[in-house]
Amino acid sequence: MRSDSDRYKSFTRRTAAVAGFKIALLSVLGARMYQLQVVQADRYATLAEENRINLRLLPPPRGRILDRRGRLLAVNRQNYRVLMTVERADAAKDTLDALGRFIFIGDGDRKRVLREIGRKRSFVPVTVRENLDWNEVATIEVNAPDLPGVTIDVGRSRFYPGNELAAHVLGYVSAVSEEELNGDPLLELPGFKIGKSGVEKVYDGLLRGTAGTSQVEVNAIGRIIRELSRQDGEPGWDISLTLDLDLQTFAAERIADESAAVVVLDVQTGDVLAIVSTPSFDPNAFNSGISTADWNALVNNVRSPLTNKAIAGQYSPGSTFKMIVALAALENGVASPEQTAFCNGKYEFGDGTFHCWKRSGHGRVDMVDAIAESCDVFFYDLSRRVGIDRIAEMAGRFGLGHDLGIDLPGERPGLMPTKAWKLAVQGVAWQSGETLVAGIGQGFVLTTPLQLAVMTARMVNGGRAIVPRITRREPNAEGSAELGEAEMSIGVSDAHLRLVRRGMDDVVNGPTGTARGVRVEGEALAFGGKTGTAQVRRISERERQIGVRKNEDIPWRTRDHALFVGYAPLAEPRYAIAVVVEHGGVGSAVAAPIARDILLEVQRLDPARSAPQPLALVR
């Protein structure tokens, strides 16, 4: 009996211990379940929903680029592209082979597709080719049963209706490189493109717009089941340029076969009405994916089609620089308006002889005659007395030797040398003979076509320091988009500017002017200007003696540059032009006729007085 009683008590204690342990375990489990299902219910509900619903970015439509009258320069158009989903295809290589029988697939595209397939999940589509034409789309759709996993997708792609017309201004878009990723998720979207040059690059942030979102339901491995909601993003801003499409087209056609640059400005506002650099390139090729062969052809072209010569080409200005020397002499009291000099065809200085372009000389000339006839001897003597530093100071007032701040990438500053510059850069002192060479726009002096156009505009608009602009400004509180009169003065005497203009008038309209051959009959369309011929190589004394035809008898790369700067109308200037033809020869024979035709066209179109788009940015 005692033994049974002891066993009963021992069993009861073990039962109580096990029951207590179970109760404690259930209490812990209950507490944990309460914590998960009650205390943290919202958090885990959110996690579960986020695991089921993905938020995806939608690329916004890129903003358009318009000319000053609202005509389209850069737009978006439907982009048909062919996609391949590996999980629905028999085999990637076999599918590509089959697709290649209907459309062209380059080796580069084929390698890229196979590489992306190896990195992505099998249900994620891979782009095989973009920018399919309608015949290619139709062919793929008709043969769809033989192309498992291949589908056609419709997106947007950048398109430039003018092709090469304004490529250097507009620039182009292309895929985002690794170096350009900055954390913006929009840049990581497949196929997303950004501006790489020109206006597309400068205003990329505004043109790009704001991404939209799409909520999609996915399964456990990330496959899309259905779209739950969509919110389209904000399209990019439309940007209105100062260019006039008609004038741009005319100027480009006029210099089509030359390696050249043309800039046309409104002398009152600084609006760039036309800016052409030839040869050009087709920006659409970059959007669709340029081939290695085509890229190498552009890079290795001796005429540099990828360079915007209008803002990045640096050339000796030649005789177009002589007005700067004249103004430096007048403003510093070194010469009077009645200053004369005798030209016998050469100028002796020290141990050297400096020749005039006219071997027989011009005889006695005053300042107006010297500009009209482009007498080198007159300006050798004038520049010697003025000095290089005062010439450089005057050049700076007219926009030479520094960036002008135009809103295009790649602008070059040119070079206006001084004594201090040469000592700092070359470590040797300035020589007096170098001043004479600079006085006729040669030697170290370098300018861009844009700078020459700005120089001309400031000379003929009363000495107002207009700044070139390619996009239209928003008006200020008073409704004006222009700068104040006091801010714009360059501080040059009106009388001296009128004297220089008389010389530029006589260049074209005088009986002995160097550009009298392009004179226009009648005062209504008359214009003024200045010719220039910039030597690329030095002419030896022997060549000078035997009379070598220095341009016709030498290779293209060593021929002189032809230049012309001008303005119109003659009485009340509104337009300024600069023309530079690389290795074109004599300015009066090559550049002046081009400038004449464009100045006639700009006066006919009269874009400065047309009603432009009011703002730079339009949505």
Do residues 140 and 258 both lie within one domain?
no
Do residues 186 and 270 both lie within one domain?
no
pLDDT at site 476: 39
Select which of 319, 374, 383, 588 is catalytic: 319
The answer to whether residue 9 is domain-embedded is no
pLDDT digits (tens, 9 = 90+) for 519-578: 998 888 999 999 999 988 766 555 555 555 556 667 878 889 999 999 999 999 999 999
pLDDT digits (tens, 9 = 90+) for 229-243: 677 778 899 999 999
Closest CA to 444 of 385, 391, 490: 391
Do residues 207 and 343 both lie within one domain?
no
Active site residue 319: yes
pLDDT at site 319: 97
The answer to whether residue 110 is domain-embedded is yes
Assign residue 446 the CATH number of its domain.
3.40.710.10
Do residues 233 and 252 both lie within one domain?
no
In the chain, how many domains are there? Answer: 2
Do residues 256 and 193 both lie within one domain?
no
Q: Write down which residue in 222, 240, 258 finishes a domain.
A: 240
The answer to whether residue 352 is domain-embedded is yes
Q: Write down which residue in 240, 268, 291 finishes a domain.
A: 240
The answer to whether residue 371 is domain-embedded is yes
- Per the document, the length of the chain is 619
Do residues 232 and 263 both lie within one domain?
no
Q: Are residues 498 and 367 in contact, defined by beta-carbon separation less than 8 angstroms?
A: no
Please tell me the distance from the alpha carbon of residue 535 to that of residue 440, in angstroms, as a whole number: 11
Mean pLDDT value across the chain:
86
The answer to whether residue 87 is domain-embedded is yes
pLDDT at site 480: 38
pLDDT higher than threshold 80 for residue 163: yes
pLDDT band at residue 497, thresholds of 50, 70 and 90? very high
Please tell me the distance from the alpha carbon of residue 61 to that of residue 158, in angstroms, as a whole number: 10
Helices (H), 175-314: 198-202, 204-208, 245-254, 284-288, 292-299, 309-312
What is the arithmetic mean of pLDDT over 423-438?
A: 96
What is the arithmetic mean of pLDDT over 199-212?
A: 90
Paired with 127 in beta bridges are 83
The widest CA-to-CA distance across the chain, in whole angstroms, is: 154
Assign residue 126 the CATH number of its domain.
3.90.1310.10
Q: Write down which residue in 191, 224, 240 finishes a domain.
A: 240
Do residues 214 and 260 both lie within one domain?
no
pLDDT digits (tens, 9 = 90+) for 215-225: 666 655 445 56
Mark residue 289 as left, alpha or beta (left: phi above 0; alpha: psi -120 to 50; beta: remaining). left
pTM for this predicted structure: 0.83
Residue 166: which residues within 8 A CB-CB, separation 6 or more?
73, 160, 243, 248, 275
What is the arithmetic mean of pLDDT over 268-273?
A: 95
- Cα 11 to Cα 5, 8, 14: the distances in Å are 10, 5, 5
Peptide bond into 569 cis (omega under 30): yes
Residue of higher predicted confidence among 278 and 214: 278
The answer to whether residue 334 is domain-embedded is yes
What is the arithmetic mean of pLDDT over 442-455?
A: 98
Closest CA to 254 of 524, 568, 564: 564
The answer to whether residue 433 is domain-embedded is yes
Phi, psi of 436 (to 5 degrees): -60, -40
**Which amino acid is present at 78?**
Q
Do residues 274 and 419 both lie within one domain?
yes
Do residues 213 and 261 both lie within one domain?
no
Do residues 160 and 259 both lie within one domain?
no
Helices (H), 157-238: 167-170, 198-202, 204-208
Q: Is 1 helix (H, G, I), strand (E, B) or coil?
A: coil
pLDDT digits (tens, 9 = 90+) for 74-123: 999 888 888 887 765 567 788 888 888 888 888 878 887 888 777 666 66
Do residues 218 and 323 both lie within one domain?
no
As a whole-number percent, the residues of the chain with pLDDT over 70 amount to 84
Range of the domain at 137: 56-240
Do residues 448 and 481 both lie within one domain?
yes
- Cα 523 to Cα 422, 528, 568: the distances in Å are 46, 11, 11
The answer to whether residue 204 is domain-embedded is yes
Q: How many CA atoms lie within 13 A of 569 on its CB side?
A: 12
The H-or-E segment that residue 354 falls in is: strand 352-355
pLDDT band at residue 481, thresholds of 50, 70 and 90? very low
Q: Provide the pairing of β-strand 238-240 with 260-266.
A: unpaired
